[in-house]
């Protein structure tokens, strides 16, 4: 294990809270030109709204995301070229501890009014299995934010380095819309429940739990089912959204995926739309780095993209029948 660099501090078990995160963002805007410039550009960003399959969708024209949207997910990055390895952070970047294994960083390419990366101190591949309790604790400590996770081949632009993202809460339509789509109970324990989420062409699952260990157990069962259903050797394709509510505990939405990108990304000429959906897009904020795609994309495109990438209600039902006993 490489020692933590001087800039990212000693190994400490302290966890940063929401207020400290916001203070970090204020400090970074004052001293880091790239971040300041991209946040200023974000404020002026064009957004348009459509209804696709009866759901609210925001489309964001964000040119700063062109690199992450077009990145080749198969191309492995060495630690020396990794943008979030502690030793490679730009000199202006300040990191705060998220327990002894992770760091809170400001994301210099924001797609939310507040956008942080919670990165492992070590260069290890994206996989939520081992750090799941860290994920839950990050959501609890940063309870003003929603914590999102992109599995490999599910929109992650940095699949080689374990990270979550903390983003402004309640901006993604899925965060409120899911409540109308709670499906049947798949498994439950004394303080936790796993249900299906039947929301059309972005169906999936939700774990609600007041206890971290019980949430972990249900997550393991769900993950095993998805791994088997997707015939994966590594982590199943999925996007995860987690919010901690002081009265109820954790809400963890898991949207399984069939593909990293839809055919629109690979089409040529007029038919091409450069959208590479990660959690934000699946949550209802579609990021278009090119103006022509922002102008062109409509409800039919979005419905088709979700249909190619996500599970429909029938696929969730089939998965439950085949991989859960009840």
Q: Which of 65, 121, 140, 161 binds Zn ion (CB under 5 A)?
A: 161
| Residue 82 binds to Zn ion (criterion: CB under 5 A) | yes
Nearer to Zn ion, 162 or 174 (CB): 162
Nearer to Zn ion, 65 or 161 (CB): 161
Nearer to Zn ion, 95 or 192 (CB): 95
DSSP string, 153-177: TTT-S-TTS-EEEEEETT-STHHHH
With CB under 5 A as the contact rule, which of the stretches 24-32, 82-90, 127-135, 281-289 interacts with Zn ion? Answer: 82-90
Nearer to Zn ion, 36 or 77 (CB): 77
Residue whose C-beta lies closest to Zn ion: 82
Q: What are residue 119's DSSP bridge partners? A: 103, 163
β-strands 285-288, 55-61: how paired?
parallel
Nearer to Zn ion, 87 or 295 (CB): 87
| Residue 118 binds to Zn ion (criterion: CB under 5 A) | no
CA atoms within 13 A on the CB side of 55: 30
Q: Which of 55, 115, 121, 123 binds Zn ion (CB under 5 A)?
A: 123
The answer to whether residues 197 and 181 touch, using CB atoms and an 8 Å cutoff, is yes
Burial 98-108 (b: 16+ CB within 10 A, else e): bbebbbbbbbb
DSSP code of residue 102:
E
Q: How far is the CB of 116 from Zn ion (least distance, A)?
A: 17
| Residue 273 binds to Zn ion (criterion: CB under 5 A) | no
- Alpha-carbon distance of 266 to 74, in angstroms, equals 15
Cα 74 versus chain centre, distance: 19
Q: How far is the CB of 8 from Zn ion (least distance, A)?
A: 12
Nearer to Zn ion, 26 or 80 (CB): 80
DSSP string, 56-74: EEEEEE-GGGHHHHH--TT
Q: How far is the CB of 84 from Zn ion (least distance, A)?
A: 6
The answer to whether residues 253 and 283 touch, using CB atoms and an 8 Å cutoff, is no
Q: Which of 24, 25, 69, 85 binds Zn ion (CB under 5 A)?
A: 85
- Alpha-carbon distance of 153 to 216, in angstroms, equals 23
Q: How far is the CB of 123 from Zn ion (least distance, A)?
A: 4
Instruction: Catalog residues that contact Zn ion under the rule CB under 5 A.
Output: 82, 85, 123, 161
């Amino acid at each position: 294990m490489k020692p933590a660099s001087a800039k990212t501090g000693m190994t400490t078990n302290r966890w940063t809270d929401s207020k400290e995160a916001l203070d970090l963002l204020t400090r970074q805007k004052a001293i880091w030109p790239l971040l300041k410039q991209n946040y200023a550009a974000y404020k002026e960003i064009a957004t348009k709204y459509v209804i696709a399959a009866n759901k609210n969708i925001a489309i964001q024209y964000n040119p700063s995301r062109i690199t992450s949207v077009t990145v080749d997910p198969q191309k492995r990055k060495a630690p020396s070229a990794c943008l979030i390895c502690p030793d490679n952070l730009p000199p202006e970047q300040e990191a705060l501890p998220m327990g002894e294994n992770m760091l809170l960083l400001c994301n210099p390419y924001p797609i939310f009014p507040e956008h942080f990366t919670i990165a492992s101190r070590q260069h290890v591949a994206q996989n939520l299995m081992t750090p799941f309790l860290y994920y839950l604790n990050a959501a609890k400590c940063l309870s003003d934010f929603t914590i999102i996770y992109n599995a490999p081949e599910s929109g992650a632009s940095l699949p080689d380095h374990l990270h979550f993202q903390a983003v402004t809460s309640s901006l993604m339509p899925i965060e409120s819309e899911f409540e109308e789509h709670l499906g049947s109970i798949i498994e439950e324990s004394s303080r936790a429940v796993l249900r299906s989420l039947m929301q059309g062409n972005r169906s999936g699952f939700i774990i609600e739990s007041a206890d971290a260990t019980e949430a972990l157990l249900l997550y393991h069962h769900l993950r095993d089912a998805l791994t088997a259903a997707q015939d994966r050797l590594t982590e199943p394709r999925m996007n995860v959204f987690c919010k901690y509510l002081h009265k109820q505990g954790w809400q963890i939405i898991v949207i399984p995926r069939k593909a990293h990108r839809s055919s629109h990304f690979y089409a040529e000429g007029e038919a091409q739309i450069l959208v590479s959906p990660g959690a934000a897009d699946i949550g209802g904020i579609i990021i278009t780095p090119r103006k022509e795609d922002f102008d062109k994309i409509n409800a039919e495109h979005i419905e088709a993209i979700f249909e190619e990438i996500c599970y429909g209600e029938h696929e969730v039902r089939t998965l439950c029948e085949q991989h859960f006993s009840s």
